[in-house]
């Protein structure tokens, strides 16, 4: 069976409504803390899988120079419609595994389990190699991955209704984990305004274990320096939904971080 992720126009149009409870402001504050903790000198950020650009725009408003990359025209069209001033922000339509920019970055990010959407090992290696070629010497790559145990526990099956002054969005998600393939299938059904619009979406995510990721990072000539529980600086534990990974181009021996063996 072949697994492919395709973002529909309908999904892109309601994506921000689905993410209404996501604490983007807290994420931005966390990234600002990362800049201090890891002594990142500059303010150039590459936001991979930027989607509709909410996080990118908040980073821009904090004074960062942001390059935002995504492979979905539908998502990027929503992003562009939000921009009132094209200051300190650039949008690139490209795949994470195949992009080339005439820039190097202090910080590269890929958040909200977007790395799990990379379903094949060889493609993930290409992502890391691309990151390495665009990361400054002392730059940092930060990404999150869903803890594979979360897929096994079927945390992603539920029903929810979102209401605002103009529309009502109802959706149901049914998750299924294929252990032999390490693939999580998420079937989604959406209804808008009492079924005036009804559509289905199916997304796949790959479960990556620590040993898998460490080998892939090493193969891309990068160094894994820290793993924390999501959006914290607490060392990774087995009972949380997702983990944050911190990757550099070089080993660091200044007491802030060290390569994980």
- Whether the per-residue pLDDT at 185 is higher than 90: the answer is yes
- What's the confidence (pLDDT) of residue 155? 74
Residue 62 CA to chain centroid, in angstroms?
20
Check residue 157 and give its pLDDT: 81
Residue 73: pLDDT band with limits 50, 70, 90? very high
pLDDT attached to residue 194: 73
Instruction: Tell me: pLDDT of 203 over 90.
Output: yes
pLDDT confidence of 153, banded at 50, 70, 90?
Answer: confident
Topology of the domain comprising 9-147+208-248: Rossmann fold (3.40.50)
> Quick check: 123 and 97 in contact, CB under 8 A?
yes
User: Do 150-205 and 9-147+208-248 have the same topology in CATH?
Assistant: no
Which residues lie below 8 Å from residue 115, measured CB to CB, with a gap of 6+?
Answer: 124, 127, 143, 144, 145, 208
pLDDT, position 1: 64
Residue listed under structure tokens 């808008």: 192
Taking only Cα atoms into account, the Rg of the chain, rounded to an integer number of angstroms, comes to 18
Nearest 10 degrees: Cα torsion 212, 218, 224, 227: 0
Higher pLDDT, 17 or 251: 17
Give 112's DSSP letter.
Answer: T
The answer to which of 71-80, 231-240, 242-251 has the lowest mean pLDDT is: 242-251
Mean local confidence (pLDDT), 169-192: 92
The confidence score (pLDDT) of residue 100 equals 96
Tell me: pLDDT of 112 over 70.
yes
- For 37-102, give the secondary structure using H, E and C: HCCCCCCEEEEECCCCCHHHHHHHHCCCEEEEEECCHHHHHHHHHHCCCCCCEEEEECECCECCCC
Q: Is the pLDDT of residue 252 over 50?
A: no
**pLDDT higher than 80, residue 257:** no
CATH of domain 150-205: 2.20.130
Map out the domains of the chain as residue ranges: 9-147+208-248, 150-205
Mean pLDDT (whole number) for 230-244? 96
Q: Mean pLDDT over all residues of the chain?
A: 91
Res. 165 pLDDT band, cuts 50 70 90? low
At residue 200, does pLDDT exceed 60? yes
């Amino acid at each position: 069976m072949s697994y492919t992720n395709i973002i529909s126009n309908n999904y892109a149009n309601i994506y921000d409504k689905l993410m209404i409870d996501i604490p983007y402001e807290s994420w931005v504050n966390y990234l600002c803390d990362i800049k201090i903790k890891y002594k990142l000198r500059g303010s150039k950020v590459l936001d991979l899988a930027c989607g509709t650009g909410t996080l990118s725009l908040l980073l821009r408003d904090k004074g960062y120079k942001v390059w935002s990359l995504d492979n979905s025209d539908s998502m990027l069209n929503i992003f562009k419609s939000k921009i009132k001033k094209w200051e300190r922000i650039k949008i690139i339509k490209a795949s994470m595994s195949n992009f080339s920019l005439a820039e190097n970055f202090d910080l590269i990010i890929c958040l909200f389990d977007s790395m799990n959407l990379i379903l094949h090992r060889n493609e993930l290696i290409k992502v890391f190699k691309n990151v390495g070629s665009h990361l400054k010497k002392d730059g940092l790559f930060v990404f999150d991955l869903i803890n594979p145990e979360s897929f096994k526990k079927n945390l992603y099956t539920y029903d929810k209704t979102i209401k605002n002054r103009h529309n009502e969005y109802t959706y149901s998600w049914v998750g299924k984990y294929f252990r032999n393939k390490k693939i999580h299938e998420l079937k989604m059904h959406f209804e808008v305004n009492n079924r005036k619009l009804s559509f289905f979406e199916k997304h796949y995510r790959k479960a990556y274990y620590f040993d898998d990721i460490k080998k892939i990072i090493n193969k891309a000539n990068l160094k894994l320096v820290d793993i924390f529980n999501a959006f914290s600086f607490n060392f990774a534990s087995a009972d949380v939904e997702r983990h944050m990974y911190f990757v550099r181009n070089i080993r660091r021996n200044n007491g802030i971080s060290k390569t994980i063996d």
